[in-house]
Amino acid sequence: MGDTHLNFTDVSRNPSSPTAQQSSGTDGSHHGRKYQPNANEKKTPWMQRPGNKRLVIGVSVVVAIIIIILIIVLPAVLTKKSGSDAAGGSTSQTTPQPYISKCQSTMSKAFTKTVKLPSVNDPRPKVKMAPVPERIGNNVLVKRAYLVEFASDSTDKNHARTITRLLRLSNAIDPSAVTIRRSIQTSLFSGVSFSIDQDHPIEAVENIEGAVAIHPIYTYSHPQPVKTFDYNELYNTGSDTINSYNLTGVRHIHDIYKNFGAGVKVAVIDTGVYYLHPALGGCFGPGCKVEFGYDLVGNSYTDDNPVFMPDADPLDPCPDGSHGTHVAGIIAANSTGITDISFSSYVPFIGVAPQATLGAYRVFGCSSSAPSDAITEAIYRAYNDGADVINLSLGGPGPYSGSAEGLAIQRVTDAGGTDPFRLSFMTPKGDNSFLAYVVVAAGNSGSGGFQTTGDIANEPSSLSACSVDNKYNLLMDSFVIIGPNNTKILYQPGTNYGGWRSITNSTIVVNDPTRSNSNDGCNGPSVIIMGAVVLFQYQDSDECDTETRCNKASVQGAIGCLIYNTNNIAGSSNIPSGSISLSDGLSIISTVAANTSAMYTFTDRLEPVTISTGGTVSDFSSIGPSGDLFLKPRLCGIGGRVYSTISPIAAATVNFTRAYAVYSGTSMASPYLAGTLALFLASLGNPAPNTVSGVASNGVCRPSFSMAMNIFQSTAQTVNIYGSSVLSSTLQQGAGLVDIRRTIAATTMLSPSELSLNDSVRIASSYTVKVFNIGTTAASYVVTHGGAALGTPKNGNSDQLLLVPSYSANYANVTIVPSTFVLQPEQSLNITLRFTPPTGLNTTLLPFYSGFIYVSNQNNGDVVHLPYAGVVGDYSSARIIVRTASNTAVTGVASQSGVYISDTQQATLNATLGIRLTLVAAWSTRLFIAEAISVNDTSLPGQNQSLGILKDEAYNTFVYISDISRNTAVETQSFSDSYQLLWYGSVCAAKSIKNCTTATASRLPQGQYRLRFSALKHFGNISNPNDYDVYRSPSFLLTY
């Protein structure tokens, strides 16, 4: 197959080029001969000399012909030569450039036509804002605040003034009641966020002239790692061990190709970065590791005082967590050569891409949440500042795409117009447009079961990151003592003075080697301990504590105090102290009895130990799919127990001795993937190419987001369920654990790189996947299928989903045509897949089946794969509203005593005191409505007009809410177990929710009523009464 991509050579800068030599001589003359006029020649104007005019015309024609030939022929010749040179191979260990980076290649053109992603509605006509929930898990709605987008071609550039003026004219809203929060003006977005401190109808905002979209503003809760550990020091280990670089191919890229991410810019949108940490460069600005960024909120911003004070310094000065600094270190830290004891690390720790340049965008205050308009602005700012990769280790529950932050992600990943879900109203940026890759943490709510991935992680254009546990763990606060013959004993430091702060060699004196006395050491040491470490036994019946014993030992000259047969001691306030196990204590007694001069080495280093869950999906990692059954998450990074930098301020808060810590979470997996993306881009050049498509001077282009994700997903490593030979569900691991070595060296790619099969009622009859040979030689392929775990989300005794799904080895059958074929370099072939879901299952439980399609290159042994997932049963039949559950919240109406009312006893509810309503949604829903109805009303929503939509007084809104996230059986990091509503008897009886305002609400008269909760079923039609899951409460007497 011919190579149709263009590869122009700049001949003017290549004097050795045959074309350059023919076009000019060494002196700039034609054909190398210099014209020398005769000194006696009459100075007749050159154009008036005989024949010269005809010569000019002739030469012009010839030059024009040559130019045409050069334009048409030369690129093909040069491209062919370039391809020949590449095929010849190089003995140098330079990073291979993936073929997908070639501009305008046949493969890239074919790829663009095959990608099929969820369509994104054009938001331009959306000048209506549907009612939204006041709280989605931990994300809280900012009341009466909006982000309004204007058309990019709007001639009015002072949108803030326009908003204030129009609100005053249309609804008499006082300008002093309007506060402009943010003004976002970029090449991809033009808009303003603002709040209105005055009651107003939503139409006041919807009717703003020139508005094309309106978005609510939510606050994202402050990011918290799942677990926090002080790594302090490690004994005889390195970066490859502590962050599993061997497992993910990072070490291979570092060692073999010397690729450390140089020339790539990675933006971190988080809590800010403590860039004064030497491992992060120690400075901010041009020439520093943290080179660009912005503080969008300011140091004084809190939830109670949400006043923005932005500035150009994104430093994180806060004592809590240092989340953004840890994230930044995973990407690009370099602790080698640091001598300052507060910042040095015994291990020469480096990040995944330590030569990458960082950008820091602070969207959280010290103890605050982050507003979504600040996050949205940060995404656009990072893009405008030239970030190649953008990392967001944040998020919250949200089953559907379409938020302002999500749209920002879509736009920056598709700024070149190469992806099929491009928004139609956006201004095309042209062939040479720049795009960024965006990585988002999937969430830490895996303990809640299926459908717990985060909101922006569910965006189709984000790389949602799941977490795999590190291969190594630490017995935290268990430091190393090295005994004779290199035996290792682990001790826990005392809480008073702590443990040993440097390496110390000493003998150990056993105070009671016979173990015959109780209260060992309570009256002080009974032997000479001067200059040695003393060992005491502890028993629960002892009459003194460890502090008493160790302090008395200090007075008598001991340089350390060990207590065996216990843990978590206070110890001495003056000398190092530690606790050890009974078995280790007896071992020391035995060794010292044989040799009183036995020498022990006491250290401040920790010993990593292999953990059984290493290399498997972390138990906290959120599980897909999205609310519309799209496969999420997409790819895993190492996120369980990851070592990285923190600020010394945060370290001091938790008494860490050095500014490093081990955190766990998809917040750690996300920057791990961002680092591998930096290595990938660095393999294309330094700096990485900006051109997305069209013509680049060196023929190397940046792959589109879809293309890059395809090659990352298809080359990932599949992982098993912990303790099992069965592969984890693709709704847990996505395509698997990243393997950047295989990604960069890939010779085969698949499009699309994942399949969301929907449910077994709506599954397509067949699916087409295109296989690309992106290698340099012909390849014979074999395509096979392998199943992954089937996960059953619930049991028959409860409407609520299980916290831990039931997994089994029930697989689909897949017919593959053709299953064997040969492809030449740059050639592609469509294969057809026909899926038969697993049989013999209870379809009412809606089990999720999954697996992989494997494509094996028989010539070089490379295997790439494509993950898929689907549902057995009819997803639209799922019961959304939880009526019955085992030991978890259910939907109901509570009396003033807090007890749910029932049909067995007449309840009287006093609305003046407030009536508490509980909604529990087992699954997400596009719309939830709560209405008052008469006792005998059995109609469905929309069949008969109800008595009115309930007004929730807790949030001063009406319970007609779109895009409700599911509840989990117990609270997780992001998901709540229920939605709590407070009702004082007020309803809106208008025919349309758009007409419901505070002014139109009225109290129901005293009397008998029921409440109707309605949730739109999956794939349901909002106008079809039969497409709702309906719960009617028991009847009650409403009083005031």
Which tens digit of pLDDT belongs to each residue from 188-211? 999 999 999 988 888 889 888 889
pLDDT computed for residue 94 by the predictor: 57
H or E element, residue 204:
helix 203-206
Q: Between the CA of residue 933 and those of 39, 918, 946, what are the distances in Å?
A: 111, 17, 5
**What's the one-letter identity of residue 313?**
D
Whether pLDDT at 879 is above 70: yes
Q: For 622-661, give one letter per residue: b (16+ CB within 10 A) or e.
A: bbbbbbbbbbbbbbbbbbbbbbbbbbbbbbeeeebbbbbb
- Taking phi over 0 as left and psi of -120 to 50 as alpha, with beta for the rest, 609 belongs to beta
What is the pLDDT averaged over residues 129-149?
82
List pLDDT tens digits, range 942-967. Answer: 888 899 999 988 767 889 988 899 99
> Are the C-beta atoms of 341 and 249 separated by less than 8 Å?
no
Which residues fall within 8 angstroms of residue 885, CB to CB, at 6 or more apart? 798, 799, 800, 920, 969
> Are the C-beta atoms of 421 and 460 separated by less than 8 Å?
yes
Q: Which tokens is 1004 given?
A: 């129901």
CA torsion 887-888-893-896 (nearest 10°) is 70
Q: For 918-949, give one letter per residue: b (16+ CB within 10 A) or e.
A: bbbbbbbbbbbbbbbbeeebeeebbeeebbbb
Q: What is the dihedral sign for C-alpha 974, 979, 980, 984?
A: positive
pLDDT computed for residue 87 by the predictor: 32
Band of the pLDDT at 11, cuts 50, 70, 90? very low
Q: What is the pTM of this model?
A: 0.81
> Are the C-beta atoms of 19 and 70 separated by less than 8 Å?
yes
962 is catalytic: no
Band of the pLDDT at 54, cuts 50, 70, 90? low
* CA 12 distance to own-chain centroid: 46
Q: Which tokens is 1029 given?
A: 């899951």
799 is catalytic: no
Band of the pLDDT at 501, cuts 50, 70, 90? confident
DSSP E strands: which ranges in 581-659? 599-610, 635-640, 642-645
What is the pLDDT averaged over residues 890-895?
94
Band of the pLDDT at 699, cuts 50, 70, 90? low
Band of the pLDDT at 430, cuts 50, 70, 90? very low
Taking alpha carbons only, the member of 86, 106, 260, 87 closest to residue 680 is 260
Taking alpha carbons only, the member of 548, 215, 492, 530 closest to residue 371 is 215
Whether pLDDT at 781 is above 80: yes
Taking alpha carbons only, the member of 790, 764, 858 closest to residue 819 is 858
CA distance 33 to 796: 94
Mind giving me the DSSP string for 369-410? -EEHHHHHHHHHHHHHTT-SEEEE----B-SS---HHHHHHH
Whether pLDDT at 480 is above 80: yes
Whether pLDDT at 12 is above 50: no
pLDDT computed for residue 182 by the predictor: 95
Which residues fall within 8 angstroms of residue 665, CB to CB, at 6 or more apart? 223, 224, 225, 226, 393, 441, 444, 467, 620, 639
Scanning the structure block, which residue is given the tokens 């009341």?
143
Bigger pLDDT: 1000 vs 616: 616
Q: Which tokens is 687 given?
A: 């700096």
Scanning the structure block, which residue is given the tokens 């087409």?
768
List pLDDT tens digits, range 213-240. Answer: 999 999 999 888 875 554 444 444 445 5
CA distance 671 to 394: 11
List pLDDT tens digits, range 239-267. Answer: 555 678 989 999 999 999 999 999 999 99
Q: Which tokens is 690 given?
A: 């900006």
Whether pLDDT at 102 is above 80: no
**Angle 831-414-630 (CA atoms, 0-180°, nearest 5)?**
50
Q: What percent of the chain has pLDDT over 90?
A: 64
Which residues fall within 8 angstroms of residue 811, CB to CB, at 6 or more apart? 787, 788, 790, 838, 849, 851
> Are the C-beta atoms of 877 and 844 separated by less than 8 Å?
yes
Taking alpha carbons only, the member of 151, 220, 242 closest to residue 638 is 242
What is the pLDDT averaged over residues 5-13?
28
pLDDT computed for residue 236 by the predictor: 42
Catalytic residue among 368, 577, 667, 986: 667
How many Å is the maximal CA-CA distance in the chain? 127
Q: Which tokens is 140 given?
A: 């809280």
Taking alpha carbons only, the member of 380, 362, 391 closest to residue 434 is 380
Taking alpha carbons only, the member of 761, 771, 757, 709 closest to residue 735 is 709
Catalytic residue among 193, 221, 254, 270: 270
> Are the C-beta atoms of 766 and 815 separated by less than 8 Å?
no
Most confidently modeled range among 56-70, 96-110, 298-312, 908-922: 908-922
Bond from prior residue into 818 cis (ω within 30 degrees of 0):
yes
Bond from prior residue into 752 cis (ω within 30 degrees of 0):
yes
Q: What is the dihedral sign for C-alpha 122, 128, 130, 132?
A: positive
pLDDT computed for residue 84 by the predictor: 34
369 is catalytic: no
Phi, psi of 487 (to 5 degrees): -70, 150
Whether pLDDT at 647 is above 60: yes
CA distance 330 to 675: 8
Taking alpha carbons only, the member of 903, 882, 1039, 869 closest to residue 976 is 882
CA distance 663 to 641: 5
Taking alpha carbons only, the member of 214, 179, 229 closest to residue 473 is 229
Residue 1029 bridge partners (DSSP) = 1015
Catalytic residue among 323, 326, 785, 1018: 323
What is the pLDDT averaged over residues 333-348?
86
Phi, psi of 855 (to 5 degrees): -120, 115
> Are the C-beta atoms of 484 and 590 separated by less than 8 Å?
no
What is the pLDDT averaged over residues 338-366?
91
Q: Which tokens is 1037 given?
A: 């007497």
